[in-house]
């Protein structure tokens, strides 16, 4: 990877378009995440926000535009076959992705879940991998569960292991795809705490979420997406309390209910 200067955005999207058959789900998205910053994306389901995040990780291949990670192009229509595979695998090692449904590996213990990638992909020896794994489990508050298997964990614990797993590759950016949407309400907070911890350490993060209060609290920049376009973006204080667009206003009012309207001076 090229060494980028500090003012290169960590993640940059230019005119990204994505179609599923006849349906255009991303209609030309521009986005910048500066290093150490946290950007939240909110919007109704079907707005394309998850597809956007998955495109950055190349889990969806975009049709037009370009995606850059730390100055390096992610989508490479010019590469074919094995060369493309190798490029994508290398790029992905620099991104941590956290899924709505955790997707922990059920046949591996929590420690093995965390250490598998550094061991197999970076050739880390067993002892260093174990140290790293235990350190990361401690960071997400699960130091006591290295040999537990995913089936025996609660949803919140699973998601915290999934975050540790993504961190194990020392990613440049963390992508959170509705990380707390599948959790019981009482388990949301423990995951949010871990994410806040990462924010304090200046991890670059891109968060797709339904948790308006959390998004407002933690992020440096907030975007509202609907129908495959970014309708509005602004500082969280401004976007959540005093949006410019009618659609944003409508969404916030409908979606927040009582939870955040209390925070809105309106």
Q: Which of 74, 95, 167, 260 binds other proteins (CB under 8 A)?
A: 95
CB of 57 to other proteins, least distance (A): 5
Only segment of 163-171, 194-202, 227-235, 243-251 that touches other proteins (CB under 8 A): 163-171
Q: Which of 8, 66, 73, 93 binds other proteins (CB under 8 A)?
A: 93
Q: Which of 4, 14, 19, 59 binds other proteins (CB under 8 A)?
A: 59
Residue 117 touching other proteins (CB under 8 A): yes
Residue 90 touching other proteins (CB under 8 A): yes
Integer angstrom CA distances of residue 135 from 38, 103, 110, 114, 202: 24, 21, 12, 10, 18
CB of 252 to other proteins, least distance (A): 30
Using the minimum distance from each CB to other proteins, give the nearer residue, 8 or 94.
Answer: 94
Only segment of 14-22, 101-109, 198-206, 257-265 that touches other proteins (CB under 8 A): 101-109
Using the minimum distance from each CB to other proteins, give the nearer residue, 27 or 122.
Answer: 122
Residue 214 touching other proteins (CB under 8 A): no
Q: Which of 29, 38, 68, 104 binds other proteins (CB under 8 A)?
A: 104
- Report residue 76: phi and psi, to 5°: -135, 85
Closest alpha carbon to 153 in 102, 211, 223, 222: 102
Site string for other proteins, 6-45 (x = CB under 8 A): ----------------------------------------
Distance between CA atoms of 157 and 240, rounded to whole angstroms?
Answer: 30
The total number of residues written for the chain in this structure: 266
DSSP for 12-32, please give it. Answer: EEEEEEEEETTEEEEEEEEEE
E-assigned strands of the chain? 11-20, 23-33, 38-42, 64-69, 72-73, 95-98, 173-177, 204-208, 221-226, 229-234
Q: Which of 5, 21, 78, 106 binds other proteins (CB under 8 A)?
A: 106
Integer angstrom CA distances of residue 179 from 9, 15, 101, 148, 189: 24, 26, 8, 21, 11
H-run or E-run covering 211 = none
- The residues with which 17 forms a beta bridge, in sequence order, are 27, 64
For residues 51, 53, 56, 57, the Cα torsion angle rounded to the nearest 10 degrees is: -90
> Would the CA dihedral through 261, 160, 73, 53 be positive or negative?
negative
Residue 85 touching other proteins (CB under 8 A): yes
Q: Which of 103, 154, 245, 259 binds other proteins (CB under 8 A)?
A: 103
List residues binding other proteins (CB under 8 A): 57, 59, 81, 85-86, 89-93, 95, 97, 99, 101, 103-109, 116-117, 120-121, 149, 151-152, 162, 165-166, 169
């Amino acid at each position: 990877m090229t060494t980028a200067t500090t003012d290169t955005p960590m993640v940059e999207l230019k005119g990204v378009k994505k179609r599923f058959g006849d349906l255009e789900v991303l209609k030309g998205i521009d986005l910048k995440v500066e290093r150490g910053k946290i950007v939240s994306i909110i919007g109704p389901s079907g707005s394309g926000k998850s597809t956007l995040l998955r495109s950055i990780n190349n889990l969806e291949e975009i049709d037009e535009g370009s995606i850059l990670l730390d100055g390096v192009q992610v989508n490479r229509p010019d590469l074919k076959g094995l060369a493309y595979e190798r490029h994508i695998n290398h790029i992905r090692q620099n991104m941590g992705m956290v899924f709505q449904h955790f997707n922990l590996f059920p046949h591996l213990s929590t420690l093995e879940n965390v250490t598998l990638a550094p061991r197999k992909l970076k050739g880390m020896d067993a002892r260093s991998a174990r140290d790293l794994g235990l350190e990361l489990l401690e960071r997400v508050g699960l130091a006591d569960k290295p040999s537990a298997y995913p089936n025996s964990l609660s949803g919140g614990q699973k998601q915290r292991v999934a975050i540790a797993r993504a961190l194990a590759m020392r990613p440049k950016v963390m992508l959170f795809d509705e990380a707390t949407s599948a959790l019981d309400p009482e388990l949301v907070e423990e995951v949010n705490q871990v994410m806040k911890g990462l924010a304090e350490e200046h991890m670059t993060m891109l968060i797709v979420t339904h948790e308006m209060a959390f998004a407002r609290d933690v992020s440096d920049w907030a975007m509202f997406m609907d129908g495959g376009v970014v309708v509005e973006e602004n500082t969280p204080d401004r976007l959540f309390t005093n949006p410019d667009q009618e659609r944003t206003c409508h969404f916030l009012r409908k979606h927040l209910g009582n939870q955040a309207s209390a925070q809105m001076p309106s």
